[in-house]
Structure 1
Amino acid sequence: MHWILLRGLTREQAHWGEFAERLRQAFPGHHFHTVDLPGTGVHYRDPSPASIAGIRELVCRQVSHIPRPYGLLALSMGGMVALDWAQHAPDGEIQELVLINTSSGFSPPWQRMRPAGWPRILRLLLRRELFDRERDILQLTCNRPVALATVKHWYRIQRQRPVSPANALQQLRAAATYKPLDRRPLPDALVLASRGDRIVHWQCSATLARRWQWTLQVHPDAGHDLPLDDPDWLVRQLDNWLAR
């Protein structure tokens, strides 16, 4: 199985850190591909569409050389792109779907973006010093202590491939206006959420899982960036689910 990994708002493939390699070691029979959303990573100079559908179309073009079928594993806004992809893909193209701390128009706005997070996010957008901004993003999205090496790594990413304010706003608009179709794209999917997520309420994941009778697993205290906070727990959930 070829897996496509998608990150969230203004983040790129390098922000997965060591997680993709953990997946390769845990599942040697699978292939894992980290892919950038338009406006980020290797595509940071390109304009980002202002809709999840537009982002999904460009991502699909990027991976057209990768053999099908696919598994999709996606975090936050990447989860919206993955869900939209699964709902519009030809039959059989998407075999597995794993959504991490994502949200959709099925949930109310105050769950999709927790009110307490808005002041911190606004302060982040106004910060001009990149190192401080990346450190503050990590402190907001993670509930575990973050190593200084990780902060430096994220700082280097932003220095080398900066996401423009225009693209950040386009992605925000796409995420805020996204609502999936009513039809269930797959008989089952793995929906993972963090009870300690300070950005997106874990009930957004519960709403998706309940709507389509999908498998839901909730981490008791991790933050929004679950792959960084507790990658071992995430790998165990995926292993258990694939063994079904």
Structure 2
Amino acid sequence: MHWILLRGLTREHAHWGSFPARLGEAFPEHQFHLVDLPGTGVRYREDSPATVAAIREAVSRHVSHIPGPFSILALSMGGMVALDWAQQAADGQIQNLVLINTSSGFSPPWKRMRPGVWPRILRLLARQELFDRERDILRLTSNREVPLSLAKQWYSIQRQRPVSTRNAINQLAAAARYKPGEKRPVPDALILASRGDRIVHWRCSSTLEQRWQWTMKLHPDAGHDLPLDDPEWIIQQIRNWLPR
């Protein structure tokens, strides 16, 4: 089985860290493809569209070489792209859908991005000192102690493949405006959320679960970047869910 992995706002494939390797060890019969959204990662020189639908179209073209049907595991804004993709895909094209700490227009704005986070994110985008910015993003998205080595690693990623302010704003606009259609994309999906998420309220995931009768699991204390805070927990939830 082929899996496509999508990260969130202004993040790229390298921000997954060791998580893809752990997935490969846990599921050796599967192949995992790390795919960047336009304007990030290997595609950082491209312009990011300002709608989720246009981002999805660009990603779909970029992975046309991957044989289908495939599965998608996506975090945060990547989950919006995955959800839109699943709603537009032909029946059977997407086998499995795993969404982590994502939100949608089915939830009110103050749950999609908690009060007080918008000013902090805008300050981060405007911050000129790159190392401090990346360290502060880690501190916002993770509920674990941030080692200096990890902050340096994220600083290096941004130095090599910088996300422009314009692309960051376009992604923010796309995420803020996104609302799925009414159609249930797949019979079941695995929804993973963090009770300790300080950016997106976990009830945004619960809304998707209840609307389409999907499977949801809630982590007790991890932050928004759940794959960073507790990758083994995610793997265990997938392992329990896949044989359904």
* Counterpart in the other structure of 2:57: 57
Amino acid across the alignment from 2:143: N
Tell me what 1:224 maps to.
224
Aligned to 1:188: 188
Distance in 2, matches of 1:61 and 1:116, equals 36
- Which structure 2 residues correspond to residues 1-244 of structure 1 after superposition, within 5 A? 1-244=1-244
SS in 2 for 1:171: helix
SS of the residue 1:24 aligns to: helix
* 2:46 alignment partner, SS class: coil
Distance 1:141 1:176 in 2: 18
- After TM superposition, give the deviation of residue 157 of structure 1 in Å: 0.5
Q: Residue type of the partner of 1:202?
A: W
Aligned-residue sequence identity (percent) comes to: 73
**For 1:69 and 1:4, how far apart are their aligned partners in 2?**
11
Measured against aligned partners, the alpha-carbon deviations of 1:9-56 in whole angstroms (never above 9, x if no partner) come to: 000001001000000000001000000000001110100111000000
Aligned partner of residue 38 in structure 2, secondary structure = coil
| Matched residue type, 1:192 | L
Deviating beyond 4 angstroms after TM superposition, the runs of 4 or more aligned structure 1 residues are: none
* Alpha-carbon distance between aligned partners in 1 of 2:126 and 2:68, rounded to the nearest angstrom: 42
Q: Does the residue aligned with 1:238 lie in a helix, a strand or coil?
A: helix
Q: Measure, in 2, the Cα distance between the counterparts of 1:92 and 1:243.
A: 17
Amino acid at match of 1:132: D
Following the alignment from structure 1 to structure 2, what is the Cα–Cα distance between the partners of residues 188 and 98?
Answer: 10
Please state whether the residue corresponding to 1:186 is helix, strand or coil: coil
Partner secondary structure for residue 183 of structure 2: coil
Which deviates more, 115-124 or 224-233? 115-124
Cα deviation 1:166-201 (Å, max 9, x = unaligned): 100110110000000101011100000000000000
TM-score, length basis structure 2: 0.99
Paired amino acid for 2:33: H
State the AA in 2 paired with 1:156. Answer: S
CA-CA distance at 1:119 after TM superposition: 2.8
Q: Find the residue that maps to 1:187 and give its secondary structure.
A: coil
RMSD: 0.7
**How far apart are 1:243 and its partner, in Å?**
2.3
Query: Tell me, what secondary structure is at the counterpart of 1:239?
Result: helix
TM-score by length of 1: 0.99
Q: CA deviation at 1:116?
A: 2.5
- Counting matched residue pairs gives 244
Unaligned runs of 5+ in 2: none
Q: Structure 1, unaligned stretches of length 5 or more?
A: none
